Each structure stands twice: as C-alpha cells, then as structure tokens.
Structure 1
Amino acid sequence: VQQTFRGIALKTPAMRNRLDDLMNKWNHIWNLSNLYIERLKCIEIVLAGLEENTAAISEFEIKLASYTELPSDIKGLQIVLEDLMVLQNAIGQQQIAMDQLNDDAHNARKLVEKSRPNHRGPHSDMDRLDAEVNRLNSRWTNICGQVVDRMRGAEAAYALAQKYHTSYQTEVDFVDDSYGKLDSSAPVLNKAQELETTK
C-alpha cells in the first residue's frame, strides 16, 4: 500500500490522511494479532502444564493409596519410611512445576483480559481454567499434607518398633543369661545332694 502511495504522482493531504488511518489500523490489527498469538501460546503452556501436573498428582495419589497399613516389623517399617522419603523428594521436585503452572495461569488470565479490552463481565473460559487449576492445587495440597502425616506416623512407628526391639532383646539376653547361670549352678546342686547321701 505504501509503495502504491509512493507511486502516485499527485498526492493530496486527504490521501495522506487516509494512508495514515489505514496504516494505524494495520498496526493496531498487527499488534492485536501478536497479542492473540501470545495468548494462544500462553494458554497452550497452561494446558500442557495442567495435563503434566494432573498425571503426576494422580501417580502420587496412587502411590499413597498403596500404603494401606504400616507393617509391624522394623525392616518393613524401614522400607515404608524409605519409600515415603523418595516420594517426598519427588513431591519437592514436582512443586516447581506446580508453582510454574500457577504463574502461567495467572499470566494467561492477564493476557486474555488484555486481549479483550471491550469485554465487560466475567471471562467464563478463564474462570473454567482457573477452577481446574484450583482443583488441582487442592489435590496437591492434600497430597503434601498426607505425605507429611504419613512420614510422621511411619517415623513414630519405626521409633517405637526400635524401642520395643531393644527392650525385647534386653529381656531375651537376661533370660539367656539366667538360664546360663542356672545350668552352671546345676552341678553344684548335684554335689550338695551327693554330700548329703554320704553322711
């Protein structure tokens, strides 16, 4: 359009004004299209993060559900405690992705609102997306709380099992020692009986 305008020999101020209006509209449309592109990319990132985090949270929930009850032996408790520590580390790493999802959802809402300057009222599509992110955050908070509670329970059970095992071992050692003393004193008792029969 500008090349065509340059090719016109007799340019009038009205033509110049119309070209300026046309260029302003073109720039506005161009900027809006870039804003829409950014918005679509941001929404795509949010949806991918939502899918990734939903899969990870479901996996964590399945792992937590597999721990129905704590074993009663020390070795079993130690295995459960180690598994819970591994799960807690994985949750710590996943926290970064959850934080990123929340930031991306916030940025997406701002971009959508910016790309709809004439829109008044709620943005129902973004409200649905925010509700989905909030549901996922609720599940995430629940998992984090459950892991902490189960770690505390497993640690307490492990400490009690060790204390019980130590007390039990002390009693076993005492009984073994007492039987040993009793066995060693049996010949003395027999000698006392022999002495009485010789009198």
Structure 2
Amino acid sequence: MSTIGVYLAHPRPGSFNHALYGAVVDELRGRGCRVRAHDLYAEGFAPLLAAEETGTVTAAERSGDPVLALHRAEVAALDALVLIHPNWWGMPPAVLTGWVQRVLVPGVAYKLGTADGEPAGLLRVGRALVLNTSDTPEAREREEFGDPLERIWAACVLPYVGVAEVRRTVFRTVTDSSDAERAGWLRQAREQAAALLS
C-alpha cells in the first residue's frame, strides 16, 4: 500500500485550491492509499526557520517542536508527494516555502559531503505531483517570467531531495473560469493523482 503526502498551501477555505486538495485526497483514499493530508494554513504550520534549526538535523531536533518532528518523520516515509498551491509572485505561499526550509533539511531529505561534491537525496519519494493555480496567461508566464515555479519545483527543490519524477500542472486562469472548466480541472487532478500509483 502506497503512502502519499498531500500538502495544501492556501489560506482561504472554499478556494479552488481547497477543491483540488479535496479531490486529490478523496481519489487517493478511494484507491486504498495511506494519505498524509495537511492543510498547512488550517493546521497553523509555523513557517519561520529558527536559528537553532539551521545546520544538522540533530541541531534542529533541539527545537523541541513536535509538529516539525511529525512532518519530518512523515516525509521520510512517503512513496509520493502532492503539492497544491497558487502562484503568488512567481513563488509558493510563504507557509509552503517555510515548510520546505524547515522539513526538507540535511539528514532528513538530503546529505552533503558526497564524494563527487553533489548533494545526495535521502527521500524515498519516487514521484511528485505539483498542482498550481494561476491568473497569468500561459504565454505571458513563459515569455515574460520563464515559469519560475517550474524551476523551483522541478529543478531546484524536488530533484535535490531525490525525487526522480516531477509532474506539474497549472490550472489557469482561475478567476474568470466557468463551473464547467473547474469541474474538468478537478477530474484532471483526480486522474493525475491516480497516475502516481502506476
């Protein structure tokens, strides 16, 4: 049985991001997965990296934060990962950035000091799915901004911690989308979540 972590970063209940989260969690549970579902805003995940958490995982454990310890233990045991968030200024929301900085630390998600000088990913997560919402048209995103979220997730963060396959979908433009478009996007999100199992 696969264990999949699903992480939502959106502050407003009733948002389309919440609908995506609900659809993905429902689909995966319906397929018999163990789902570790986290609405980071609703849970009040603290995104600020404290000075005592920098450095080794041993140093970070001295912070005594049981929520942080839970997230680190869970992410180390996942088979796949789903991240759901809006594109805000070409970045994930601060709570998710803080989750990355506090959870995906040396000793948990990667190690430094390998023979070739490159970091070695420690996570057993083989696949990741990133679902983003955006109000920026695709051509403008690509031509003016270079799709910064693609670089963040598929080039910088996830390969660094050992994720071999990163899939990403952007649903756009959300603000002026119809009910029919949103229903289609939710079906697509379910299909993509199910594909993590194949």
Using CA pairs under 8 Å that are at least 6 residues apart, name the structure with larger relative contact order, 1 or 2.
1
Q: Which has the higher strand share?
A: 2
TM-score normalized by structure 1? 0.23
TM-score scaled by structure 2? 0.23
Higher helix content, 1 or 2: 1
Rg larger in 1 or in 2? 1
